[in-house]
Amino acid sequence: MIVEILDKCRGGAAPLTSMGDPVLRRPADPVTGQIDTTLLKELSELMLATMHATHGVGLAAPQIGIPLRIAVIGDTAEVPEDVAAARKRIPVPDYTIINPMYTAERDSVGFYEGCLSLPGYQAVVPRPETVHAEYEDLDGVRHVERITGWPARIFQHETDHLVGTIYIDKALTRSLASNEMYKSRWAQPTPAQAAEALGFPLPQHIR
């Protein structure tokens, strides 16, 4: 399957799986040497190209139909200073996470999120602000890191994909908004105004 997808999409981006595809709802298989390092790196490159082409900040292998525990992350988008400060959003160079896992370290905060496999909508998702993260890189080196702020949110979002969880499963559904509505009304640094108008709760310390 991987070789077929790489051959078909070489030099471009892979098509995305959409909400409702079973591959997004099944726990992905751990990467345990069933594909060689060269193929793994080619897959990572395709996933990064797909992430960039779709203007995402992360992409999990099941989102291109491959049920393996691998994801890519990268966020260099320019955002207003007040948004960056409120969301603790800092630039994140592209990197690959293999067999990732995380545990929460701090209380949850809620911010709007979207997903490439559920296009057109965003919703507020409460997530731990800081996590203890573990993953392997493309060379098989195990990393143990403490990640906080927006980078921690991306790591959680992508790792969740690998166990069959999509952000909407954890979202405050009363916050759900079309991308157009979000951009025109709820793109403030925090979702406090949206929470008041739409009637959903937020952790007190981000108000």
**Given pLDDT bands bounded at 50, 70 and 90, which one contains residue 206?**
very low
Q: Parallel, antiparallel, or unpaired: how do β-strands 130-136 and 142-148 relate?
A: antiparallel
| Share above pLDDT 70 across residues of the chain, in percent, rounded to a whole number | 98
Q: What span, in angstroms and rounded, lies between the C-alpha atoms of 154 and 105? A: 16
- Starting at the edge strand that comes first in sequence, how are the strands of the sheet with 108-113 ordered? 108-113, 121-128, 172-178
Domain range annotation of the chain: 2-109+128-167
pLDDT over 50 at 86, yes or no = yes
- Closest to 190 (Cα-Cα) out of 173, 202, 178, 174: 202
Query: pLDDT tens, 39-70?
Result: 999 999 999 999 999 999 999 999 999 999 99
- Which of 42, 158, 180, 196 is catalytic? The answer is 158
> 2-109+128-167 in CATH: which number?
3.90.45.10
Burial of residue 118 (CB within 10 Å: 0-12, 13-18, 19+) is middle
Span 73-101, mean pLDDT? 97
Cα 79 to Cα 128: distance, rounded to the nearest angstrom: 22
158 catalytic residue (yes or no): yes
Which residues, including other chains, have CB under 8 Å from residue 105's CB and lie 6 or more apart?
A: 128, 130, 131, 132, 146
Q: What is the pLDDT of residue 204?
A: 57
Mean pLDDT for the chain? 95
pLDDT surpassing 70 at residue 205: no
Please choose, from the candidates 8, 119, 21, 33, the residue with its C-alpha nearest in 3D space to the C-alpha of residue 62: 21
Instruction: Give the C-alpha distances (Å, rounded to integers) separating 4 from 14, 40, 46, 103, 145.
Output: 11, 14, 12, 35, 34
Q: Nearest-CA neighbor of 185 among 168, 198, 173?
A: 198
pLDDT confidence of residue 106: 75
For the chain, give percent helix, strand, coil, nearest 5: 35, 30, 35
What is the reported pLDDT for 103?
97
Cβ–Cβ < 8 Å for 150, 87: yes
Looking at residue 203, what is its pLDDT? Answer: 75
> Does the pLDDT value for residue 176 go beyond 90?
yes
C-alpha dihedral sign at 159, 162, 163, 167: positive
Q: Please give the pLDDT value at position 105.
A: 87
Is the pLDDT reported for residue 147 higher than 70?
yes
**What φ, ψ does residue 52 adopt, rounded to 5°?**
-65, -40
Mean pLDDT within 183-198: 97
Using the predicted structure, report yes or no on whether residue 119 has a pLDDT greater than 80: yes
